[in-house]
């Protein structure tokens, strides 16, 4: 089984937001929630870089550890998923997540934030693969259809890579050695406790 | 005269211009020579490691209207996880189980504090109906807040295996709603307690004496005390300050990201949970002394009256005050001729 990961090559990202749009459309993510976003660092200054970020599907995921109802599970592909039936909308996963991935339908309201929603690596949820219930709660399950996440597929510069961690690390390494520079795999040290040696 | 001066000025200007040009050329020349054959576009690029070393977080700009999403990376989340899953559980378990163990040992060693002279059968009013209502309002809310709060900290370790995922989630959601809603009457109760009893809870000289003699907890000593002794005053201030701190941090958690950002939310949770577990531990002591720990104490908050002998032994100065006050009012009533 593969160990699924995301990698955003910041030296290629042009902040076109195609990944964001693809994700919103594929999973019909409601208003106010973004499973993926593009953050631009040093905007307008020399050395500016943009990074497309969603759930990184961490190794030993912090969100899963702090969840008071233990509603997370990790698939055989190391994708971190959760059950919306069990989630109580406490918001703790957002405090623990190093990447700001968890989203809530009700922002900062009294009582409940509603069921948490986040990137599923296009792998759906606990319901039967490809079922209507699964689609309504978690969006499309492309992994079950043998396809990789749509955000990476739609990336206009192929900056965003999604797939088996070893394979995308290899692609990135080759890129870096061919072009002679690379600012590294953003978030990998924090998410996977490993960086890519280039 | 003026013409000569103007000419001079022109010459100076020309000289200065020539100098500046020469200077520019000298500094520009090596820069041009250093120009590499291929451009390195990452020469000034932001580096993840460097940004993390500077602030331990990476923040930028996003085009979506969600301010908190502009934090790209905050490894501090992992530290908060360690706090919540390990440190807090240790602090909570030691504070609460430790207090319980101490109370059991104390009860076995000391037993109940008995009334030395027994019950006299004569009663004196200690707390009015309003005072008792406020006390029990706050106390019930506190118990629900404590149980529903501890469920967030320990529930999945203790209850989840018993209830199973679905029932545990239903219970936790219910607990969460009660925690959120009962926070309001609890806060009102704490404010009323603060106002109602502040007068008799200012530390004074009697308290020094009381503390010096260990409050008469060990042995048969009965150091004098007014309406509240030093121990009760401590409970009062724990409730007022602990209640205040848990309310402020609790409302920050209840209305997340209003004026706080991610590190503020983590800090609010840390303060809230530490204050909460220590508060719970302190209240265990309070509940003990008010029930099985001391004979004749519960009725003060139960029925509102206490036995006169109880008052004599535990709050002699308060009893004196009460007696002189009733005498005065009786005397006044007697002095006023009936019409
Ligand atoms: C007075 C107003 C209070 C408010 C507004 C408040 C609010 C909150 C909120 C919003 C949470 C986060 C968990 C969740 O969303 O369910 C929480 C957690 C918690 N509260 Fe309170 N609370 C208050 C008072 C108290 C008191 C008096 C206690 C103690 C008796 C307490 C004990 C706890 C505990 C133990 C946690 C869980 C900490 C953790 O493990 O993260 N709270 N509270
Ligand atoms: S990125 Fe956040 S939400 Fe995703 S697995 Fe890691 S901690 Fe959980
Ligand atoms: S919001 Fe839901 S998923 Fe996140 S920690 Fe709370 S219960 Fe778990």
* CB B317 within 8 Å of CB B224: yes
What residue owns the CA closest to ligand 2's atom 2? A97
The 3-class SS string of chain A reads: CCCEEEEECCCCCCCCCHHHHHHHHHHCCCCCCCCCEEEEECCCCCCCEEEEECCCCCCCCHHHHHCCCCCEEECCCCCEEECCCCCCCCCHHHHHCCCCCCECCCCCCCCCCCCCECCCCCECCCCCCCCHHHHHHHCCECHHHCCCCHHHHHCCCCCEEEEEHHHHHHHHHHHHHHHCCCCCCCCHHHHHCCCCCC
Domain count, chain B: 1
pLDDT of residue A123: 97
In this prediction, residue A84 has a pLDDT band, given cuts at 50, 70 and 90, of very high
Sort out which chain A residues have CB atoms less than 8 A from B69's CB and list them: 34, 37, 39, 100
Query: What's the mean pLDDT in B129-153?
Result: 98
Query: What's the mean pLDDT in B253-279?
Result: 95
Does the pTM exceed 0.80?
yes
Domains in chain A, CATH or no CATH each: 4-192 (3.30.70.20)
For the record, the structure tokens of B232 come out as 């009760």
In this prediction, residue B33 has a pLDDT band, given cuts at 50, 70 and 90, of very low
Cβ–Cβ of B77/A71 closer than 8 Å? no
CA distances from B246 to B76, B111, B261 (A): 23, 33, 19
pLDDT of residue B214: 85
pLDDT of residue B9: 61
What does the alpha-carbon distance between residue B255 and residue B251 come to, in Å, rounded to a whole number?
6
Instruction: Flag whether pLDDT at B102 surpasses 80.
Output: yes
A56 lines ligand 2 (CB under 6 A): yes
| Domain contains B233 | yes
Residue of B44, B168, B262 lying closest to A95 (CB–CB): B262
Cβ–Cβ of A38/B255 closer than 8 Å? no
| Ligand 1 atom index nearest CA of B146 | 30
| Domain contains B74 | no
pLDDT of residue A51: 97
Task: Find how far residue A160's CA is from the centre of its chain.
Answer: 11
Q: Which ligand approaches the C-alpha of residue A67 most closely?
A: 3
| Domain contains B77 | no
| Domain contains B258 | yes
| Domain contains B289 | yes
* CB B176 within 8 Å of CB A90: yes
Say how many Å lie between the CA of residue A69 and the centre of ligand 3. Answer: 7
Least trusted range by pLDDT, from B6-10, B166-170, B177-181, B274-278: B6-10
Find the CATH number of the domain harbouring B267.
1.20.950.20
| Domain contains B131 | yes
ipTM: 0.94
Cβ–Cβ of A112/B173 closer than 8 Å? yes
Relative orientation angle of helices B262-290 and B129-158, to the nearest 10 degrees: 120
Instruction: Flag whether pLDDT at B309 surpasses 70.
Output: yes
pLDDT of residue A132: 96
Instruction: Flag whether pLDDT at B47 surpasses 90.
Output: no
Least trusted range by pLDDT, from A3-17, A146-160, B44-58, B173-187: B44-58
Mean pLDDT of chain B: 89
Report the pocket of ligand 3 as residue ranges, CB < 6 Å.
A 67-69, 71, 82, 87-93, 102, 116
pLDDT tens-digit map of B103-133:
999 999 989 999 989 999 999 999 999 999 9
In this prediction, residue A49 has a pLDDT band, given cuts at 50, 70 and 90, of very high
In this prediction, residue B290 has a pLDDT band, given cuts at 50, 70 and 90, of very high
Q: Does B36 touch chain A (CB under 8 A)?
A: no
What does the alpha-carbon distance between residue B239 and residue B131 come to, in Å, rounded to a whole number?
15
pLDDT of residue B198: 97
| Domain contains B49 | no
| Domain contains B9 | no
Query: What's the mean pLDDT in B258-266?
Result: 93
Say how many Å lie between the CA of residue A88 and the centre of ligand 3. Answer: 6
pLDDT tens-digit map of B4-22:
656 656 665 666 666 665 5
Mutate to test the interface with B, among A6, A36, A39 (most CBs of B within 10 A): A39
The DSSP bridge pattern shows strands A160-164 and A4-8 to be antiparallel
Instruction: Flag whether pLDDT at B78 surpasses 80.
Output: yes
Q: Does B211 touch chain A (CB under 8 A)?
A: no
Q: Does B161 touch chain A (CB under 8 A)?
A: no
* CB A81 within 8 Å of CB A75: yes
What does the alpha-carbon distance between residue B326 and residue B318 come to, in Å, rounded to a whole number?
12
Q: Which residues does residue A117 pair with via DSSP β-bridges, in sequence order?
A: A103
| Structural domain harbouring B134 | 121-324
| Burial tier of B179 (Cβ tally within 10 Å: 0-12, 13-18, 19+) | buried
What does the alpha-carbon distance between residue A88 and residue A113 come to, in Å, rounded to a whole number?
8
Angle at A192 (CA atoms; ends A189, A196), nearest 5 degrees: 55
Query: What's the mean pLDDT in A52-77?
Result: 97
Q: Give the residue with greater pLDDT, B30 vs B221.
A: B221
Q: CB contacts < 8 Å between A and B, how many?
A: 169
Cβ–Cβ of A110/B51 closer than 8 Å? no
Q: What does residue A47 show for φ and ψ, rounded to 5 degrees?
A: 85, 10
* CB B10 within 8 Å of CB A146: no
């Amino acid at each position: 089984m593969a160990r699924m990961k995301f990698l955003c090559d910041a030296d290629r990202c042009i902040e076109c937001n195609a990944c964001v749009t693809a994700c919103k459309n594929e999973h019909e993510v409601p208003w106010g929630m973004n499973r993926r976003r593009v953050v631009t660092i040093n905007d307008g200054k020399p050395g500016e870089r943009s990074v497309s970020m969603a759930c990184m599907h961490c190794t030993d995921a912090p969100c899963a550890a702090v969840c008071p109802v233990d509603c997370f599970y990790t698939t055989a592909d190391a994708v971190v998923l959760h059950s919306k039936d069990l989630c109580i909308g406490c918001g703790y996963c957002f405090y623990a997540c190093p990447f700001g991935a968890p989203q809530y339908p009700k922002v900062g309201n009294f009582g409940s934030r509603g069921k948490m929603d986040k990137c599923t690596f296009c792998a759906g949820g606990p319901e039967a693969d490809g079922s209507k219930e699964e689609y309504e709660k978690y969006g499309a399950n492309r992994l079950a259809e043998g396809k990789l996440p749509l955000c990476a597929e739609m990336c206009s510069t192929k900056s965003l890579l999604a797939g088996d961690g070893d394979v995308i690390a290899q692609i990135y390494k080759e890129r870096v050695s061919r072009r002679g520079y690379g600012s590294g795999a953003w978030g990998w040290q924090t998410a996977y406790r490993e960086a890519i040696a280039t | 005269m003026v013409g000569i001066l103007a000419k001079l000025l022109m010459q100076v200007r020309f000289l200065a211009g020539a100098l500046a040009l020469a200077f520019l050329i000298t500094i520009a020349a090596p820069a041009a020579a250093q120009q590499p054959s291929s451009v390195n576009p990452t020469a000034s690029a932001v580096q993840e490691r460097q940004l993390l070393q500077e602030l331990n977080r990476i923040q930028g700009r996003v085009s979506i209207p969600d301010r908190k999403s502009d934090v790209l990376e905050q490894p501090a989340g992992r530290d908060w996880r360690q706090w919540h899953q390990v440190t807090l559980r240790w602090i909570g378990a030691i504070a609460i189980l430790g207090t319980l163990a101490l109370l059991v040992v104390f009860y076995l060693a000391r037993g109940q504090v008995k009334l030395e002279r027994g019950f006299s059968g004569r009663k004196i009013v200690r707390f009015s109906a309003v005072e008792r209502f406020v006390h029990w309002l706050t106390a019930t809310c506190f118990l629900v807040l404590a149980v529903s709060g501890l469920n967030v900290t320990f529930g999945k370790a203790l209850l989840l295996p018993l209830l199973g995922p679905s029932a545990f989630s239903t219970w936790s959601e219910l607990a969460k709603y009660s925690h959120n809603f009962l926070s309001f009457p609890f806060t009102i109760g704490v404010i009323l307690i603060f106002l109602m009893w502040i007068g008799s809870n200012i530390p004074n000289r009697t308290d020094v004496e009381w503390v010096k003699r260990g409050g008469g907890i060990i042995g048969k000593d009965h150091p004098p005390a007014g309406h509240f002794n030093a121990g009760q005053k401590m409970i009062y201030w724990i409730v007022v300050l602990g209640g205040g701190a848990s309310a402020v941090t609790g409302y920050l958690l209840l209305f997340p990201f209003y004026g706080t950002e991610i590190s503020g939310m983590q800090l609010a949770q840390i303060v809230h949970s530490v204050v909460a577990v220590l508060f719970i531990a302190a209240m265990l002591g309070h509940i003990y002394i008010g029930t099985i720990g001391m004979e004749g104490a519960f009725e003060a908050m139960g029925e509102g009256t206490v036995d006169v002998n109880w008052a004599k032994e535990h709050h002699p100065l308060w009893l004196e005050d009460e007696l002189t006050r009733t005498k005065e009012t009786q005397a006044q009533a007697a002095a006023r001729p009936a019409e």
